Structure 1
């Protein structure tokens, strides 16, 4: 299988908190959930450390075809816990966390698992694209009923609103009626969206962190067929380059309100026909 991967930090001088990789028959995207400055995590490790360790362990675990993807993710979360249980407070509500998207070929089908707001797009041969993402975080944010934030990205007022949102979201994270992410609770894996599709029905599959999907699902500058066309013709790097152009045209986040002017962006793309 020929897989194309691109991953780029939101800013050149910051760590990339995404993880994007592939192994024979397995595709993985992990998007670490960074917190604003001033929000405690109870952990001595960075979000990048968490995302990369979880990603590497999940890539290996998902390669074991005796395991379902839910079991593979649960075991990977448990193994990361073991890496820092003696140095960090794993019961802290701000412990590092991440979104997850996994696709795996098994018995002529493509299995998938999506947890939180990374996106998996199935390029279906005889139908339109199917974009699969977990909207529960967005639903909780909508419930918070926050007023519109007119302050520019990077301003003190904007940073303060972000800190307040993260602190308010803590009571909803990995809770019934809230939203679910990979963090310290292995049971979160059972809350992921899962499914499978016959390979014969697919032309391609794409996994995107939310920093790479925003041209379609946040900015509204592309449709999912547009995204797939760019990936097919020019590859993941071109999609990220176009995302950066759009972000640069609205650096203060006035046209498209968002937490970061430029987010880490990662894409894994497999042309099933190749």
Structure 2
């Protein structure tokens, strides 16, 4: 396997709530989430949740190659729940959650799973790119975030509007008409986007948290193809550097309204050829 991985927290010294790892023929990326400014009800925290779930999921998909990625995710959520349901309030609205991207190569195919707003970027041998992203959170967010986007990022007014927005989002989490994300309930795995593509058709596979895809889907400063060129030539560190440079140029969110001026950013790039 030829894998390059880079990850940076939103701010130096802050805990990184993203997690990514790879094993022989498999990789996972998770982006942990809570409700900004709220207690999580979990004594362990968001980073613990995403890294524990990610490690268990990677172990499950490699140890049980005949088991579907959906079932492996459900199994892993059950195990994480068992690890802290005795000490943490998992019914709390702000209980930790995480996006999930998982891939596994087997029997000439690449199986994939995407849950939440992280992205899987598939590049074929002809240079065509396909981004697999769960759009449900974005679709719900667009209906609710108008007041947030009208205010300077980081201002007290923005923080207050953002708290109300995220509280409204939490009320739509893991329910029909809302969006789905990995949390305490293993049934969320059943709502993941999943599929398979022939391995021989692929040149590379890239897993990205939404803090890394900003360059394309929020800032519109690059295309997926352009992002792939950066990854192939100079690697994930350069891609994240470009994201940070764009964020710095619009620190108050006037050009690109957003919830966080900077976000945890993680890229795992797997070159297959």
**TM bracket, shorter-chain basis:** over 0.9
Map 1:159-170 onto structure 2 (within 5 A): 159-170=159-170
| TM-score between both structures, scaled by the size of structure 2 | 0.97
Tell me the equivalent position of 2:67. 67
Secondary structure at the residue paired with 2:88? coil
Task: Kindly state the Cα deviation for residue 211 of structure 1 after the two structures are TM-superposed.
Answer: 0.3
Is the Cα–Cα contact under 8 Å of residues 117 and 133 in structure 1 kept in the other structure?
yes
Task: Please give the alpha-carbon distance, in whole angstroms, between the structure 2 residues aligned to 1:16 and 1:26.
Answer: 22
2:160 aligned with 1:151, yes or no? no
Task: Please give the alpha-carbon distance, in whole angstroms, between the structure 2 residues aligned to 1:148 and 1:61.
Answer: 39
Deviation by residue 1:104-155 (Cα, 9 ceiling, x = unmatched): 1011111110001000000012362100000001111123363363322221
How large is the Cα RMSD of the aligned pairs?
1.2
| TM-score between both structures, scaled by the size of structure 1 | 0.96
2:45 aligned with 1:46, yes or no? yes
**Structure 1 pair 14/148, CA: closer, same or farther in 2 (3 Å)?**
closer
Tell me the equivalent position of 2:109. 109
Map 1:1-274 onto structure 2 (within 5 A): 1-37=1-37, 39-63=38-62, 64-126=64-126, 128-144=128-144, 146-147=146-147, 149-273=149-273
Instruction: Structure 2 unaligned segments of length 5 or more: list them.
Output: none
Task: Please give the alpha-carbon distance, in whole angstroms, between the structure 2 residues aligned to 1:144 and 1:243.
Answer: 25
Task: Please give the alpha-carbon distance, in whole angstroms, between the structure 2 residues aligned to 1:34 and 1:147.
Answer: 20
Deviation by residue 1:48-76 (Cα, 9 ceiling, x = unmatched): 11111111111101112021100111111
Is the Cα–Cα contact under 8 Å of residues 34 and 40 in structure 2 kept in the other structure?
no
Give the number of aligned pairs: 272
Task: Kindly state the Cα deviation for residue 176 of structure 1 after the two structures are TM-superposed.
Answer: 1.2
Instruction: Structure 1 unaligned segments of length 5 or more: list them.
Output: none
Task: Kindly state the Cα deviation for residue 81 of structure 1 after the two structures are TM-superposed.
Answer: 0.4
